[in-house]
Amino acid sequence: MNSPLADNLRRALIEAALPDVAFDGWSRAVLRAAARRCGIDEEEARALFPRGAVDLVAGFSRWADQRMLDRLEAEPPADASTADRIARAIAIRFELVEPWREAVRRALAVLALPHNALLAARLLYETVDAVWYAAGDGATDFSFYTKRASLAAIYAAAVLYWLEDRSEDFADTRDFVARRLAGFVRFGRLRRDLETVVERLPNPLRLLRPLR
C-alpha cells in the first residue's frame, strides 16, 4: 500500500510505537498499541505493515531518514566542505533517534537475521544515499556507487560505536566519524591524483588504468 496517505499513517504509527519498542520489541503487540493511540483500525495498521517486525523496522529507518532530510532542508548548513556536510547529516540522524536508542538496537537485531540481509543492505543504502543527497552530491558516474559503498562502511561502523557511546552529547561518536571521513577524503584525493597521472601517460599505457 503506497500513497502519501499511507506513508503519513506509517509515520504516525512508527512515532506512536517507539515508546513501547524498548520493552516489547518491534512486535505486533506494539503495532496494536500504536494503532489504538492513533485511532487507526487494527486491521488497517496490519495492512500497512503486513510483514510485522521487518516492515516496522524498515518504516523506522525511513522515518529517521526523512526527518534528517527535513531538518537539513529547514536548517541548511553554512558554506562547508562535503565531509563536514556528511558529518553533520550523520550527527543529526543520531540526534533524532537518540531518545530511541534501544529501538535502534532492537532494529539491528531484526536486520541481523540471515533472511533479512537484503533488507538490511537496502536500508543502509537508503540512509547513505540520503546523506550524500543532503551533502549536495551530484555524481552520475561510477563514483555515485563507490561513494555510497564507502560511506556505508563508515556509517555502519558509526552506528555500532554510537550504541555504546556514553560520552557527553556523543562527542566520541562525532570524533569517530570525523576520523573515518578524513581517511575517506584522503583516499578520494589520492584516487583523483592517480587518474590525472594516468590520463597524461602515453595512450598504450592507459590500458593499465584502474577499472571503475
Confidence class of residue 212 from pLDDT cuts 50, 70 and 90? very low
- Model confidence at 195, pLDDT cuts 50, 70, 90, reads very low
User: Can you give the pLDDT at residue 144?
Assistant: 83
Q: For residue 187, is pLDDT > 70?
A: no
Q: How confident is the model at residue 1 (pLDDT cuts 50, 70, 90)?
A: low
| pLDDT over 90 at 206, yes or no | no
C-alpha cell at position 110: 531484526
Q: State what percent of residues in the chain have pLDDT above 70.
A: 85
Q: Where are the domains of the chain?
A: 83-208
Enter the C-alpha cell of residue 126: 537508503
- CB-based contact 96:67 (threshold 8 Å): yes
pTM check: above 0.75: yes
Q: What are phi and psi of 133, to 5 degrees?
A: -60, -45
Tens digits of per-residue pLDDT, 58-84? Answer: 999 999 999 999 999 998 777 788 889
Helix 4-24 and helix 28-38: axis angle, to 10°? 120
Residues of the chain with pLDDT > 90, as a percent, come to 70
Query: Which tens digits make up the pLDDT trace of 139-186?
Result: 767 778 888 888 999 999 999 999 999 999 999 999 999 999 988 766
Q: Is the pLDDT of residue 87 over 80?
A: yes
For 147, residues 6+ apart whose C-beta sits below 8 A from its C-beta are 132, 137, 139
- pLDDT score recorded for residue 186: 65
Specify the pLDDT at position 3. 84
Residue 101 clears pLDDT 80, i.e. is over it? yes
Mean pLDDT computed over 189-206? 42
Q: Which of 111, 91, 133 is nearest to 25 (CA)?
A: 111
Match 558516474 to its residue by C-alpha cell.
141
Note the pLDDT tens digit of each residue in 18-46. 999 999 999 999 999 999 999 999 999 99
Average pLDDT taken over every residue of the chain: 87
DSSP for the chain? --SHHHHHHHHHHHHHHHHHHHHH-S-HHHHHHHHHHHT--HHHHHHHSTTTHHHHHHHHHHHHHHHHHHHHHHS---S--HHHHHHHHHHHHHHHHGGGHHHHHHHHHHHTSGGGHHHHHHHHHHHHHHHHHHTT----STHHHHHHHHHHHHHHHHHHHHHH--SGGGHHHHHHHHHHHHHHHHHHHHHHHHHHHHHHS-GGGGGGSPP-
